[in-house]
């Protein structure tokens, strides 16, 4: 019985009841994760090692890098991907435990409403992540970062630091913003598809 639950859960996650939902899973699971996992590591993997300040001392580089990156982009985007998956995963886990067929989700009002709420929650999480990304990283990575050196107790209060591969990071930032916007648009489109198919089902009755 437990294997059947796992099978239903897996099928629900990989094949949602809507066409747009299936495309969202394909886009989210393959393109977005591949882009982050492969290209993200190539762009941001050695950033801390190549981040250098003047004077170029390990203690100064570490403190200034922690100011520059309170959280690394790879960790932030990985958390974003995991958190955004949670509403859908919870719904499909519920559907699997209740042995709810994917076709029944759009036929029964209760299941339809719960599924729409999970999509709305997914949209809300993407919007929050989008806002946080703007707050943390902005839209452009500048080649120079001015570090506040007051905590270092040096004669100077500002230290200039060089940000490696700033242009590549700017392109990557824009790409991740674009992926988030595409995901939000797909989620909104999925809600419209659910409403349309629900209306068609009611008309046929």
Give the DSSP per-residue string, 111-173.
Answer: HHHHHHHHHHHHHHHHHHHHHHHHHHH-S---SEEEEE-GGGT-S-SEEEEEPTTHHHHHHHH
**Does pLDDT of 14 surpass 60?**
no
- The pLDDT, as a whole number, for residue 7 is 54
**Does pLDDT of 36 surpass 90?**
no
pTM of the prediction?
Answer: 0.81
Sequence-ordered list of residues with C-beta below 8 angstroms from that of 150, at least 6 positions apart, any chain: 157
Q: What is the per-residue pLDDT across 102-126, written as a single tens digit (0 to 9) for each?
A: 677 777 778 888 888 989 999 999 9
Give the Cβ contact number of residue 203 at 10 Å.
7
Eight-class DSSP state of 87:
H
**Does pLDDT of 1 surpass 50?**
no
User: 89: which 2 tokens?
Assistant: 């995963």
Tell the residue number behind the tokens 């905590």, with chain if given: 151
pLDDT confidence tier of residue 47, bands split at 50, 70 and 90: confident
Give the Cβ contact number of residue 158 at 10 Å.
10
Q: What is the per-residue pLDDT across 137-191, written as a single tens digit (0 to 9) for each?
A: 888 888 888 888 776 666 667 888 888 888 888 988 898 898 889 889 988 998 8
- The pLDDT, as a whole number, for residue 33 is 78
**Does pLDDT of 42 surpass 80?**
no
Who wins on pLDDT, 17 or 10? 17
Distance, in Å, from the CA atom of 91 to the CA atom of 87, rounded to the nearest integer, reads 6
**Does pLDDT of 201 surpass 60?**
yes
**In this predicted structure, which of 6-15, 93-102, 139-148 has the lowest mean pLDDT?**
6-15
CA 54 to chain centre: 35
CA 91 to chain centre: 19
- The share of the chain scoring above pLDDT 70, in percent, equals 86
- Strand duo 144-148 + 158-162: pairing: antiparallel
- The pLDDT, as a whole number, for residue 132 is 92
């Amino acid at each position: 019985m437990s294997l059947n639950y796992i099978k239903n859960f897996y099928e629900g996650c990989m094949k949602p009841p809507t066409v747009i939902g299936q495309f969202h899973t394909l886009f989210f699971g393959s393109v977005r994760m591949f882009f982050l996992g492969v290209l993200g590591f190539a762009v941001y993997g050695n950033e801390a090692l190549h981040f250098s300040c003047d004077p170029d001392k390990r203690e100064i580089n570490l403190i200034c890098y922690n100011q520059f990156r309170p959280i690394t982009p790879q960790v932030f985007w990985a958390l974003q991907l995991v958190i955004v998956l949670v509403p859908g995963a919870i719904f499909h886990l519920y559907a699997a435990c209740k042995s709810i067929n994917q076709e029944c989700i759009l036929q029964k009002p209760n299941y339809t409403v719960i599924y729409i709420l999970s999509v709305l929650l997914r949209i809300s999480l993407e919007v929050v992540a989008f806002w946080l990304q703007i707050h943390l990283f902005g839209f452009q990575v500048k080649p120079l970062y001015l570090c506040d050196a007051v905590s270092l107790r040096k004669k100077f209060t500002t230290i200039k630091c060089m940000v490696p591969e700033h242009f590549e990071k700017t392109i990557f930032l824009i790409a991740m913003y674009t992926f988030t916007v595409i995901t939000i648009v797909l989620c909104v489109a999925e809600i419209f598809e659910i409403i349309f198919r629900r209306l068609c089902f009611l008309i046929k009755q």
